Amino acid sequence: MTVRINPSILSADFANMERDLARIDNADFAHVDVMDNHFVPNLTFGLQMVERIKATSPIPLDVHLMIADQDRWALGYAELGAESVTLHVEATIDPVATSAAIRAIGARAGLALKPGTPFAAIEGIAHHFDQILVMTVEPGFGGQKFMSDQMHKVREVADFRAKSGIELWIQVDGGVDALTIEFAAEAGADTFVAGSAVYGTDNPALAIENLRKIAREHSHHEERNE
């Protein structure tokens, strides 16, 4: 089974974004953390900047919205060309309608869970999404410690996927590095966001290859297919 490595440009140099996007051109998606200083205590960028990121990125965009009032803003990111847009269930009124709007213009729709939000809260609507994001840190900042206690949630989503037979990517975000990616892959994740573990090294492209190799080796589904 395919594993995806999505470096988070939150750890890139914001004044050299084009250069830092080129450094991760062997990754699957560039993970773009949109933060508004309301839903999370940090502030990054909005539609105008992400439009320029889209124009200069050699790889597809995986937008992670950490803003208030996501139903109002999410579609704009799909419209500017982001290939994937992930909403936080804690900041949406009608996630199913917003997902449908995102999908209607050809983008993938994701649904994210903060560490305190159980999978049970979204189990009934998960089939309306292409990706479930299990946060492995409190959203807001890069460089935090991976929360291993979220692995039970990754397993729950993986069980749900196996039982329902739907195609669903399972993403983890926060504190993912060459060690913790093993735990996440073993729990059933297939899509891995890594900020500091990629941009904190001298050779981001090599870090991506290394993470991909470890994730493949520890992926359940690959074992099953052998």
The question of whether 33 is a catalytic residue gets the answer yes
Give the DSSP letter string of 122-187: TTTTGGG-SEEEEESS-TT-SSPPP-GGGHHHHHHHHHHHHHH----EEEEESS--TTHHHHHHHH
60 vs 162, beta carbon nearer ligand DX5: 60
Report in angstroms how near the CB of residue 162 gets to Zn ion at its nearest. Answer: 25
Query: Which of the ranges 50-58, 116-124, 170-178, 212-220 carries the binding residues for ligand DX5, by CB under 6 A?
Result: 170-178
State the minimum distance, in angstroms, from the CB of residue 130 to Zn ion: 16
SS3 state at 32: strand
Pick the binder of ligand DX5 from 95, 174, 188, 204 (CB under 6 A): 174
Taking CB under 5 A as the rule, which mask of x and - marks residues 25-44 in contact with Zn ion?
--------x-----------
Task: Give the shortest CB-35-to-ligand DX5 separation in angstroms.
Answer: 7
| Under rule CB under 6 A, residue 7 binds ligand DX5 | no
CA distance 105 to 148: 36
11: helix, strand or coil: helix
> Which residues are within 8 A (CB) of 45 and not within 5 positions of it... i.e. 6 or more apart?
14, 34, 53
193 contacts ligand DX5 (rule: CB under 6 A): yes
Binding track, positions 53-92, relative to ligand DX5; x by CB under 6 A: -----------x----------------------------
Rounded Cα distance between 216 and 127, Å, is 25
Q: Which positions ≥6 away from 170 have C-beta within 8 Å? A: 131, 132, 134, 154, 157, 158, 161, 188, 189, 190, 191
- Residue type present at position 70: Q
Determine the Cα–Cα distance for residues 18 and 12; give it in Å rounded to an integer. Answer: 10
- Farthest-apart Cα atoms in the chain, separation: 46
Q: Which stretch binds Zn ion (CB under 5 A): 14-22, 63-71, 88-96, 102-110?
A: 63-71
Per CB under 6 A, 175 contacts ligand DX5:
yes
Based on the residue annotation, tell me whether 28 is a catalytic residue of this protein: no
d(CA 178, CA 169): 20
Is residue 131 near ligand DX5 by the rule CB under 6 A?
no
Fill in the per-residue mask, 22 to 51: x = in contact with ligand DX5 (CB under 6 A), - = not in contact.
---------x-x------------------
Which residue is catalytic, options 20, 62, 173, 177?
A: 173
Q: Which residues are catalytic?
A: 33, 173
Residues that bind Zn ion (CB under 5 A): 33, 64, 173
